[in-house]
Structure 1
Amino acid sequence: MTTSTGKGSIVVVTGASTGIGASTARALSRHGFHVLAGVRRAGDGDTLRANGIEPVILDITEPTQVQALAARIAADPRPLHALVNNAGIQVNGPVETLPMAQWRRVFDVNLFGHVAITQTLLPALLRSEGRVINISSIGGKLAMPTYGAYAGAKFALEAVSDALRREVSPLGVEVVVIQPGGVRTQMAARGVATANHLAAQMTSDQETRYGGLVQAVNSLMDSGTASGVTSELAARVIVKAVMTPRPRTRYTVGRDAALLIRLARVLPDRALDHLSARSLRSHHPRTPTVGVLSRLRVGVSS
């Protein structure tokens, strides 16, 4: 039975190497949970390892690693209190230009990996009447230009969360969605670098069509991250969702998420299109983009 105390219970946090995942693992351990913190590399685990935090090598797209985690939990007498599905990647590019391999990679990590680990651990969560915490995004309700793959996976995660909640809530398992806005983590910086790398591979015609847009979105992403909340604040919201006896179905993180998700709920599509274009207007480059992206292309091919 889920309780408000973590003593004697296990929580799994995926994507715990840095950012929100690492902060969540540390916060949960301070509340008495034993955290199985999923990391991709042993070095990340060494940095994270502490009292109450047990790093485990976990790529959620690798079935053998997911099964190894399930075996680790099955061998432990402590109940599984919660699964925090936090692992994710950010890959941005216009729908026309983003390679299909990147679309599949984004959905594999940001959606199918979460479904796979949830399926695997759900029997343990049903026994303990625990909960699933899915880390979505403001992009799960509002898709900016170049966010087609990322937002598409997050939209789908929101739908899967709704379906799962209606399936397992009568069985005693809570399903909660966390919707962060701008958060100061390394993920956004990596996303900008990936977007630039992919933009450098566009054809000259595609560069003419989308070069300025890509730069504007990257600039907006940089500014939004710089002004965003800390990963520690996001972790506090996740801990609340983990520990509250009767949690809400969704929690936003940051004022930007609360405002934009509310607007997405009430404004018509054309109004949202206008807001999106206006938010990007000041971020568009004042000089032609062809030279900039051509220099990036040279760097990629060299």
Structure 2
Amino acid sequence: MSSENRKLIVVSGASTGLGAATARELARRGFHVLAGVRRDSDADAIRSTGVEPVTLDITEPEHVGALAARVADDPRALHALVNNAGIQVNAPVETLPMARWRWVFEVNLFGHVAVTQALLPALLRGRGRVVNISSIGGRVAMPTYGAYAGAKFALEAVSDALRREVAPLGVRVVVVEPGGIRTEMATRGIATANDLAADMTPEQDERYGDLVRAVNALMASGTSSGLTADAAARLVAKAVTTRRPRTRYAIGRDAALLTRLTRVLSDRTLDRVTAATLRRHHPKGVALADHG
């Protein structure tokens, strides 16, 4: 095993799904992975050769500080930080309580900034890299994705700023934009959307109820036809290990297609494409307006 492959990598949100698959894939390639989990049961499930679970809620300063101390005490260089932790909360802008808006940004943006700040000294010493797991929602905001996409758009902007700040210092910053992936996060996201929809007022349900159901159906369809977590993890590992990584990687055919569409279509045309796509998943007999 080379000295390169003995380096450390931190992966947050590694309890299940893409994070767990990424931790295992990087360990298989010879790295020592500090896998952030929130529960003891998750730690027991992921612990294996090359994968060391660490308790990490990225919104808890004590956890972030302990992680930074663990990395600082290790003689091995920190090769990469993979900011993967996240939650999916979908609801119309009007109906999502402000406390939930703030929590989505706390987990999907501010927590990543906190971990990045804490580990940047080690990354600078090792000339490592930051890999931020964004989403195709960081490029295109579908209806009901206001909070989730808003945080991902912001993560993309922070990534651009950070890349331009630390590139002269030898640290690379990469954004990964997955589309549909067959993970528990998508299933939980649909359940959360249904719970939030149940709390809408009758007037709000009349305005948005069918839209929420259509978006959920589209999400379920995209997830079932998406990449497996293991296949997506291999692409994340490429962003982590390739010598000259691109600034952005789209994962999945849907992500690649939407990325291309955003480059060539006007906002109004993209609105019509979005409405037409949702119409195929809408309750029978109900139409969505194009607002064109």
Asked if these proteins are the same fold (TM beyond 0.5), I'd say yes
- The offset of 1:7, in angstroms, is 2.2
CA–CA distance in structure 2, aligned partners of residues 262 and 114 of structure 1:
27
CA–CA distance in structure 2, aligned partners of residues 200 and 46 of structure 1:
35
SS at match of 1:7: helix
Which of 160, 170, 179 matches 2:168? Answer: 170
SS at match of 1:224: helix
CA–CA distance in structure 2, aligned partners of residues 19 and 65 of structure 1:
21
CA–CA distance in structure 1, aligned partners of residues 257 and 285 of structure 2:
32
- The offset of 1:233, in angstroms, is 1.2
Query: How many matched pairs?
Result: 285
Check conservation: 1:10, 1:82, Cα contact below 8 A.
yes
Name the amino acid aligned to 1:183. Answer: I
Counterpart in 2 of 1:117? 115
C-alpha distance 5-237 of structure 1, shift in aligned 2 (>3 A):
farther
Percent identity reads 71
- The offset of 1:32, in angstroms, is 0.7
CA–CA distance in structure 2, aligned partners of residues 115 and 103 of structure 1:
17
SS at match of 1:144: coil
Q: Which runs of 4+ in 1 moved over 6 A?
A: none
C-alpha distance 287-43 of structure 1, shift in aligned 2 (>3 A):
farther
SS at match of 1:67: helix
Q: Can you list the C-alpha shifts for 1:187-213, whole angstroms capped at 9, x where unaligned?
A: 011001000001001010000000000
Name the TM-score, length of structure 1 as normaliser.
0.93
CA–CA distance in structure 1, aligned partners of residues 28 and 212 of structure 2:
41
Runs (5+) with no aligned partner, structure 2: 287-292
Name the amino acid aligned to 1:240. Answer: K
Check conservation: 1:5, 1:32, Cα contact below 8 A.
no
Check conservation: 1:12, 1:35, Cα contact below 8 A.
yes
CA–CA distance in structure 2, aligned partners of residues 57 and 245 of structure 1:
30
Which of 271, 274, 290 matches 2:272? Answer: 274
CA RMSD, Structure 1 to Structure 2 (Å): 1.1
Name the TM-score, length of structure 2 as normaliser.
0.96
Q: Can you list the C-alpha shifts for 1:18-64, whole angstroms capped at 9, x where unaligned?
A: 11000000000011100000001010010000010000010000000
Runs (5+) with no aligned partner, structure 1: 289-302
Counterpart in 1 of 2:63? 65
Counterpart in 2 of 1:130? 128
Counterpart in 2 of 1:223? 221
CA–CA distance in structure 2, aligned partners of residues 245 and 167 of structure 1:
20
SS at match of 1:61: coil
Counterpart in 2 of 1:249? 247
